[in-house]
Every structure is written in structure tokens, then in C-alpha cells.
Structure 1
């Protein structure tokens, strides 16, 4: 059945309008990219809190698990953006220690995604071409064996690389990280024969920093959180003391390149004082 002439005309106008909007957005994105590259100052270590997968799915009328799947695809996109700009270190927070108490079906889906993405990254040409060292940070003891094996294979295949460092924070909590660091320091000093009084007297912040999951790379100078939530929720509590923060209203699967570039331009416009 043919459509009424008015309907067809309106449909054509919408197509022209949407094409025009796309062209405008593309032009704006190109301008932002030139500004960001032209400024020169980029984060040495970018932290990303990937928030809003479930709400994205709910808003779109999709199954909850699809939100996590779309979120995993978005992480691949954002990795590409970071590689193109030459950001030296990136930490993405995929799963918190609090998240592990979620509905068992949802958690199982997230862990299956994690296994799939780890195996995918292990053979991703971009990872090897750019010599990206990938590390899984957090507490993984309770993960299924196949997930642990996939993460271990990914770390082993990239262990010798000296390009970008990509930390995947899974089973991660900032408080747990600090506790683990303190335990490592105490165990090391005890093995060296130091007494408790000596350990207390000599303890300095750098002793804790040396045992954090991110030891050996700069603290994050810029942290982006999506979904409109304005809090850290325990992300890199020790390392973020002088970080700059950017809170974006869009849910993680809907995070666009233009949103990413806006955030970086905002970072470049800030004066960092480091408490001085």
C-alpha cells in the first residue's frame, strides 16, 4: 500500500534533517579533535568509571544483560580513541567488589562477557600493533576458572609490551586495594626481620604506593564517570588525591566520541595546583 503524499514528504524532510544533524555533529567533532590535539596536554593516566549500562538498557526497553553487552562494545571504541591520541595509561572500572553481590544471573553474564573480551583482546591486532600492556587489577580469587585463565593469558601475551598500559579493574574496590597494599608492605618488612615498632616508625605514603595495583605508573590525572552520578564509589581512592574529575550525564553505552573530546578539552582548560 502506497503511503500518503504528506507522509512521504514528512519522511523525506526527517531524513534530510537527520543527515544535516549528522553532518553538523561530524564537523563539531572534527573541530574538537583539532583543539584537543593542538593544545598538546593530555592525561598521562586516564581513569574511566563505566557507569549506566543497566539504566541504558532500561531506557531503551532492552534486557538488562544487553546493557552490559553494549557497554563492552563501547569500551572497545573508547580504547581506540585513546590509542589514536596516544594516552599512555588507561584504567577502566568494569566490575566493583560491591557489584559481585548482584543477581547471580547478571553477575554470570558480566563474567562471561569478561572472559570473551579478555580472549578477544589477547588476539586484537590493535593491542599488539600498539604494544599495549594489559593488566587485570582487583581481587579475582572467586572468579570462575575459565575467566581467570582468560585474564592470565591476556596478561601473559602482553607482559613484555612497552606502549600504553591498560588496566582492567574487575572485582576492584579502592578500600580493598589499600588494605592489600598495607598487607604486602607489612609482610615484606616482617620477612626482612623488622619489628612492628620499627615498621610503624618508618611508614611513609610511598611505602603504600609501592604496593598498589597500579604501582609503577603515574597516578590518574583525569577521571571520567558516565551516567550523571557525581561520586567516586571507591575508585582509586589513594591515587586520585590530585586527580581532576569529569562527570558526564550520558550512560556509558551512549558515550560518544564528541563527549570524550569535550571531557579532554575541559581537562586541558584546568589549572592543576596539586594543593599548592
Structure 2
């Protein structure tokens, strides 16, 4: 009886805290692309005395919730690290359970009314050809069913490895140069990006990892590291990941963004002060933007004097 009371009190507290966090989220600074490393399914099952596949099944339910939370908040793209290239080394029976779960969930997602109501595009990132036929068929099915949608993108990273992705792109570039299809001096960011697993993929704004480990595990290095994505590590295993955890991750991203904006504004202010002879109209435009990001105490000297000696508005 006491444990039941504690559980209900805990649920009410979580709900109340979730509402508080939602009010703190700035709708204009929500991350566009969130990537999630869903860690801890096996440890969650072990803690409960269950088999590993039961932990993966419980984690799949969390995945459905996170998709809904992202869409409701205004996130435009979600990438889930469902099966890495290293996962091929797991015991055969566990791999088969994972493959069954992936195939079933991909088909299930592709048939859910909410996916079509929200116009969610589902696609796979990774070496799909290495997966069993039933998973490849499910990937194709989900892609066909949702190919025309562009309101929200769900990327499922399967048989995915960041180094393998970059290595494959580099080899494709080298072959294109060797064959004469691409000049060496034409090799640029776009030439590499066009040869990654899927195009286009937005730059990652926020990586979330559950389960307590503080590493990004070779996940989306081109899209995350190149964009200096914010990273949020938390201790709950993936099946235990809650809306409060998700909102705390988003709040961490927004806090980092505010800090970066302030730092950029302060650097720009230092340049304006150092080069006082810039054109007046240009200086006014820069300073108008700076005021938005600088704290009150840092705004001294932001007024630009016009030719008649009066401060510019």
C-alpha cells in the first residue's frame, strides 16, 4: 500500500515538474534536430530479472513517446540510434530478437494513423544491405508509406557507424575524382555530404544519451561534431526515460544557445569598439542586434553617435 502511494505521489510530482519545464522552454529556440542514443535496455531488463529482449521491447515504448514529445514541441527531425555496426557482435539470439523488433516496429510505425496525420517521413540511415531480409523489407515498406511527407522526419539509424559512414563517403569522392566525374578542386563540404547515408539530414542540434555513459559512441560525427551539437547525458535507462528528462535536455540546449549568442555578441561588440570608424548605418544595425543578447551591465558604450554628436536611436 505504501509503495503504491509513493508511486502516485511520484507521478503527480513528475507531471507538475513537467508543466514547469514546459513553461520554461522558449518556443523560438527549440532544437530542429534531436539525436538519441537509446542506451540501457539490457541493464534495465537485468535489473528487473527479465530477458534482454524484454528490455528492448520496453525501450520501444519509450521511443514512441519521444517521437510524440518531439513533434508536440516543434522539433523537426529525430534520429534514433537503434542498431550500431558494433551490435552485430552481440549473441545471435539477442540479435534476432532485435531484428524482429526493428522489423515489427518499422511496419507498425508506418501504419499508425498519427504518423500520417502528422506527415512523418520515416527512413533508415546505415548499411541496410547488411541487415536480414525481413528488416530490409520493413525499411522499404516504411519508406514507401511515408515518402511524400515532409512535416517531420524520423531517422532510424540501423547498422550504423559514424566512421564507416565517413569512410564510405571519402571512398566515393576518391572514385569520382579518379573517374573524372569530380575535379579535385571541386571537393568541398557538399561533395562529401551528398555521399553520406541519407541526404538531406539536418545538422544535429542536441544529442541525448541515456543509461549513464558520457560518450557519443561514433554517432553522426559529420552532422553533430561539425555543428558542435549540445550533448545531454542522463542516468535513467532508456525504458525509464521520462518527459521530464526530455524537457531538461531541451532546456540544456537552450541554455547553451543563449550562452553562445551572448559570447558572439560580446565578441562583435569588442570589434565594433576597436574599429570605431565603421560606417554609421552598419554600426547601428550591428548594435541593435547586440542589445538583445547582452546583459544590462554590458551595454555601456553601445550607443553610436551621429554626425551632430547626438546618440543614435
TM-score normalised to structure 1 length: 0.88
Moved more, 223-232 or 26-35: 26-35
Q: CA deviation at 1:185?
A: 2.7
Per the alignment, do residues 24 and 213 of structure 1 end up closer, same or farther by CA in structure 2, a change over 3 Å counting?
A: same
1:35 aligns with 2:24: yes
**Candidates 160, 184, 190, aligned match of 1:206:** 190
Give the whole-Å Cα distance in 2 for the aligned partners of 1:16 and 1:149: 46
Give the whole-Å Cα distance in 1 for the aligned partners of 2:20 and 2:181: 60
Q: CA deviation at 1:128?
A: 0.6
Give the whole-Å Cα distance in 2 for the aligned partners of 1:105 and 1:14: 36
**Candidates 70, 73, 86, aligned match of 1:82:** 70
1:164 aligns with 2:148: no
**Candidates 31, 36, 47, aligned match of 1:48:** 36
- Contact in 1 for aligned 2:173/2:187 (Cα 8 Å): no
Partner of residue 211, structure 2: 227
Partner of residue 253, structure 2: 267
Q: CA deviation at 1:191?
A: 4.9
Per the alignment, do residues 230 and 30 of structure 1 end up closer, same or farther by CA in structure 2, a change over 3 Å counting?
A: same
Where relative contact order (Cα < 8 A, 6+ residues apart) is larger, the structure is 1
Give the whole-Å Cα distance in 1 for the aligned partners of 2:3 and 2:157: 43
User: What is the number of equivalent residue pairs in this alignment?
Assistant: 260
Give the whole-Å Cα distance in 2 for the aligned partners of 1:217 and 1:147: 22
Aligned to 2:57, the other structure's residue is in SS state helix
Q: CA deviation at 1:220?
A: 0.2
- What is the CA deviation profile of residues 163-187 of structure 1, one whole-angstrom value per residue up to 9, with x for unaligned ones? 1111100000001111121233334
CA RMSD of aligned residues (A): 2.0
Give the whole-Å Cα distance in 1 for the aligned partners of 2:19 and 2:67: 18
Partner of residue 119, structure 1: 107
- What is the CA deviation profile of residues 101-136 of structure 1, one whole-angstrom value per residue up to 9, with x for unaligned ones? 110000000000000001101101111111111111
Q: CA deviation at 1:273?
A: 4.2
1:253 aligns with 2:239: yes
- Contact in 2 for aligned 1:95/1:170 (Cα 8 Å): yes
Unaligned residue ranges in structure 2 (runs of 5+) = 265-313
Give the whole-Å Cα distance in 2 for the aligned partners of 1:258 and 1:153: 33
Unaligned residue ranges in structure 1 (runs of 5+) = 1-10
Partner of residue 181, structure 1: 169
Aligned to 1:229, the other structure's residue is in SS state coil
Partner of residue 4, structure 1: none
